[in-house]
Amino acid sequence: MLLLVTLALPVGIISALVAKALLWLIAEITNVVFFQRFSPELPSLQHHHLGAWVVLAPAIGALLVGVIARFGSEKIRGHGIPEALEAILLGGSLIQPKVAVLKPISSAISIGTGGPFGAEGPIIMTGGAVGSLLAQLVHLTAAERKTLLVAGAAGGMSAVFASPIAATLLAVELLLFEWRPRSFIPVVVASVVAYLLRIPLLGAGPIFPVAPHSGLGVWPMLAACGIGIVAGFGSALLTAIVYFFEDAFQKLPIHWMWWPAIGGIFVGFGGWIDPRVLGVGYELIHSLLNGQILGAALLGLVVGKALVWAIALGSGTSGGVLAPLLILGGALGAFIGQWLPVGNVGLWAMIGMAAMMAGTMRSPLTGMFFLLELTHDLNALPALLCGSVAALAVTVLALKRSILTEKLARRGQHIAREYSVDLFELMRVGDVMDTDVPLIPAKTPLPRFSARIASGDPLVCTRQGTLLGDENGDLVGIVTRGDVVRCFERSRDETLTVGEIGSRNLVIAYPDETLHDAIAKMITHDVGRLPVVSRANERKVVGYLGRSSLVSARQRYHREEGVRARGFGANDGAP
């Protein structure tokens, strides 16, 4: 853990610097393309200078992304998080150096030319690549590389949005697939370091400050749940639309390199009709949170942004999902909230943002704390919780997978993201071991032992291994059927005893140790069974742990999960 914490420090620093570079590059490209000027400030595209030529800008940018992906690395396609998941779970947390360079460049081109994406997906992938590359320079395990990869991803998100807590929760809910101090603490270190470095580089948060909302009683909480439910159905619909267009592009009889350009044309037409759908749209998020967009403009924003984003994402270009989800959720929440008699439009936009993010990505804690850190409105936290969990409840019932894991499932990689304690960590060897374990004398002649096996003697046939004892009944070894077969293949010496062909270098277990530790011994020593002995006297056998015992532990778990039975009064003699 201390080694990973030490390495997380430079990972956080580099992630913050990369975030600064990415945001600067996006701003410069945006200003050059849409306003024909150089400026490091990210502008609003609602008053761009291109006129009807705006149709071509996203298409040209997407074409460049397709070329970079075709001749650089296909890994830069997509919105970053599924690719990070794939690298973690299937690639040993190994990311190529060129991905760390090409991903931010391609994303900056895509977003800077009007792509309807955010910068968070690319920075998550790029920060993850930074962590992975640093880990590859040091001799680390795949699990340790994963920790640094995730630390880089969290650091990048923390630097972009000034959200160290939400970045850490995103790592826990989406990327780590575990909850261990060894991985959690380094991720926090990288996230906080990136946040601290963000202050001199990009300024302190919050990046979307709002006036605190107070007096959130019963009715606002119920309204938050209602908006969360609607956002949950919206998340399911949005996921379906994205993969509808992805399937449509898959059917095109041309190379995938050209797909982003085709998607870019649709984005350009959408931007010609409504410039608000272009680019990252951070100014839209702020306007929604302050209740400055009302009426039909909200509905038009939801429809237009959803379509161009789904088409662009389905085409396989490079860009993120968080900013579009915030815009869509905020517009949906504000549209519903303008008719509610409680609260204000800005509050309901905030609830909609958290709910849309929580439902679509199935990350409720990330959604609620992300909005808290973006706005610093602590009073809204309970309502954010209600909306986020309500949206999650809808999407887990309506969809098998989230928008992130669906992409991997379509590649044949099914991912379970539900955390639970390993039952082998909970159960002890003594809970499942076989306690009726006879020992046979180590001096037993091998032919006699073989004859007992052939006759079906239950004392030696019920297990693969038979424990051997001396004249005092103490454990001295173990013999397996494989030992017998190998002995007969080498020699027919009838004077051999089972003690001579068996193993005396025993790997043992104790009744009070966890099944997890016992299984680790089996794997490490490549054995399928363990004698269980007393800690006070390691020659005294108290049980036998074999593979069948492990299966019985799993069966017990499934009974507890699936068999419903009466609890209260079950043993009081009542019928």
pLDDT, tens only, 434-468: 888 878 888 888 888 778 777 777 666 667 788 88
- For residue 221, what are the CA distances in angstroms to 378, 388, 394, 454? 15, 12, 17, 72
Say if CB 312 and CB 267 are below 8 A apart.
yes
Q: What is the pLDDT along the chain (575 residues), one digit of tens a residue?
A: 899 999 999 999 999 998 899 899 999 999 999 988 998 888 888 888 788 888 999 999 999 999 998 888 777 776 666 666 666 656 666 677 777 788 888 888 988 898 888 777 778 778 888 888 888 888 888 888 888 888 988 998 899 899 999 999 988 888 887 788 888 999 999 999 999 999 999 888 788 999 888 878 899 999 999 999 999 999 999 988 988 998 899 899 999 899 999 999 999 999 999 888 998 888 899 999 998 988 888 999 999 999 999 999 888 887 778 888 999 999 999 999 988 888 889 999 999 999 999 998 888 999 999 999 999 999 999 999 999 999 999 998 988 877 777 766 666 666 666 666 777 888 888 888 888 887 888 888 888 877 877 777 766 666 778 888 888 888 888 888 777 777 776 766 677 887 787 788 888 899 999 988 999 998 888 888 889 999 988 889 888 888 888 887 777 777 766 776 665 555 554 44
Domain 423-561, CATH class in plain words: alpha beta
Q: Which of 510, 518, 504, 525 is nearest to 553 (CA)?
A: 518
Environment class of 489 (CB within 10 Å of its CB; exposed 0-12, middle 13-18, buried 19+)? exposed
DSSP 211: P
Q: How many CB atoms lie within 10 A of CB 495?
A: 8
Domain 218-409 has CATH 3.40.1180.10: no
Residue 282 phi, psi (nearest 5): -65, -35
Q: Do domains 2-202 and 423-561 have the same CATH topology?
A: no
List the chain domain ranges: 2-202, 218-409, 423-561
Crossing angle, helix 142-161 and helix 81-90, to 10 degrees? 170
The two tokens of residue 278 are 């272009």
Concatenated DSSP letters of 426-474: HSBHHHH-B----EEETT-BHHHHHHHHHTT-HHHHSSSEEEEE-TTS-
Task: Supply φ then ψ for residue 516, to 5 degrees.
Answer: -60, -45
Q: Are 392 and 236 in contact (CB under 8 A)?
A: no
pLDDT tens digits, residue range 145-163?
888 888 988 998 899 899 9
Please state which of the four CATH numbers 3.40.50.11060, 3.40.50.10860, 3.30.540.10, 1.10.3080.10 is assigned to the domain occupying 2-202.
1.10.3080.10
Q: Please report, for residues 145, 149, 193, 197, the alpha-carbon distance to residue 3 in angstroms, rounded to integers and kept in the order given.
A: 12, 14, 16, 22
